[in-house]
Structures are given as C-alpha cells and as structure tokens.
C-alpha cells in the first residue's frame, strides 16, 4: 500500500512538472541573429545568419522566463554581410570553415533574473568552429505575452553580449601599417528573438 502511494505521489509530481513546461518555437521570419565587428580600427561591419532554428522551454507561468531552456542551431554557411566576396572569405578555412563545421549551436545552462524586472542573465554553451565555450549574455524580455490575429501567443527577447572569436579558433587577421589589426577579436552579438507558443 505504501509503495503504491509513493508511486502515485511521484507520478503526480512528474505530471505537474511536465504540465508546467511550455514549449516555444523561434519565429525566424520575425527574428534576427546579428553581429558586428570593428573593421580597420575605425568602423563596424555588421552581419547576420539567415538560416537557423530555435526552441525555448519555459517553466514559469505568464511572461516569467526564469529557468527557461533555450536551444539554437545555426547554418554557418548562411552568414551574410551584404558582400559576396567577404562572405566567401568568412565561410572559408580562414574563419568558420563551413565545409568542416556546418553548424553553430547554443544550449543554455541557466536563465537567471537580472537586477531590473524583465531582464535576464543567460548563460550557455556556444559551439562554433568545433570549439565549445560557456558564454554569458544579457536578455531583455517583452513586457507581456501577446496574442496575434491568428490566435498564436507571442513573446520576444533582445539578447546582447560579446564573444572573443579567438576563443573559438577564429584567429585570422592582418596587421595594419598604422598599427592595429584589420578585424577585431571581439564580436558583438545583436539578437532579436521572437517566439511563438507551440500548439
């Protein structure tokens, strides 16, 4: 009898936990995976990845995404900086080597609330160019979940942060006569992530 009662309690807890989870899909047509690097020490070059997919699993009600799990898979060959020659160089072995490392992935390890309401400290494992490193990003959530004209529930994040490309083996550069280098090591991330609740 005791065993059956314990089994029932465990099953109930598992069921409640499963029901508390909410799955969301990244809406790529209303999102952007952008980045920027300093070029020639004087200006910024911006780019983005055009092909990717992402999922978010929230464990809190309403618009509280504390403890949420976020996963991204990005097609490295979809990099686009609006310059075909430059994009070809970025896809080559000098940089992303997309023929060998086709995917860039991100898997969150924690999503903690920041000091200001609606902000989060997002930590996760970024795998790029065959190297996995833990990165810390800042996320700002929308004020509330909204329902679109088609009945879909939507939410969004603005995610920013900086990663050092050399940490991932992206070491190509060229020295300038006046000093400095052609491409900065720091890559600034500029991500707009709109998600829809899975049906």
Look at residue 3 and tell me if it is in a domain.
no
* Model confidence at 5: pLDDT above 70: no
Helices and strands, counts by H and E, the chain: 2, 12
Give the structural domain span for 41: 22-197
pLDDT in tens, 122-167: 999 999 999 999 999 999 999 999 999 999 999 999 999 999 999 9
**Predicted local confidence at residue 44, as pLDDT:** 87
Tell me the C-alpha distance between 31 and 146, whole Å: 16
Decide if 8 is inside a domain: no
Antiparallel, parallel or unpaired: β 52-58 and 32-39: unpaired
- Answer whether residue 41 shows pLDDT above 90: no
For the chain, give the number of residues: 199
- Please report whether residue 11 resides in a domain: no
Total domains, the chain:
1
Whether 2 is in a domain gets the answer no
Please report the pLDDT score of residue 132 as a whole number: 98
Instruction: Flag whether 130 is in a domain.
Output: yes
Mean pLDDT score of the chain, rounded to an integer? 88
Reply yes or no on whether the pLDDT at 2 is more than 60. no
Span 73-90, mean pLDDT?
A: 95
Residue with the two structure tokens 């994009």: 87
């Amino acid at each position: 009898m005791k065993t059956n009662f314990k089994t029932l309690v465990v099953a109930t807890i598992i069921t409640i936990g499963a029901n508390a989870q909410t799955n969301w899909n990244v809406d790529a047509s209303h999102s952007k995976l952008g980045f920027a690097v300093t070029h020639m020490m004087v200006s910024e070059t911006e780019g983005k990845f055009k092909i990717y997919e992402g999922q978010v699993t929230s464990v809190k009600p309403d618009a509280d995404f504390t403890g949420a799990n976020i996963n991204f898979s990005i097609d490295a060959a979809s990099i686009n900086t609006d310059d075909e020659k430059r994009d070809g160089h970025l896809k080559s072995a000098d940089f992303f080597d997309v023929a060998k490392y086709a995917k860039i992935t991100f898997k969150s390890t924690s999503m903690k609330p920041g000091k200001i309401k609606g902000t989060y400290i997002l930590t996760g494992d970024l795998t790029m160019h065959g190297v996995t490193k833990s990165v810390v990003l800042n996320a700002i959530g929308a004020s509330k979940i909204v329902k679109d004209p088609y009945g879909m529930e939507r939410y969004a994040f603005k995610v920013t942060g900086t990663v050092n490309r050399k940490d991932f083996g992206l070491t190509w550069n060229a020295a300038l006569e006046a000093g400095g280098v052609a491409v900065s090591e720091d890559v600034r991330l500029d991500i707009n992530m709109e998600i829809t609740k899975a049906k």
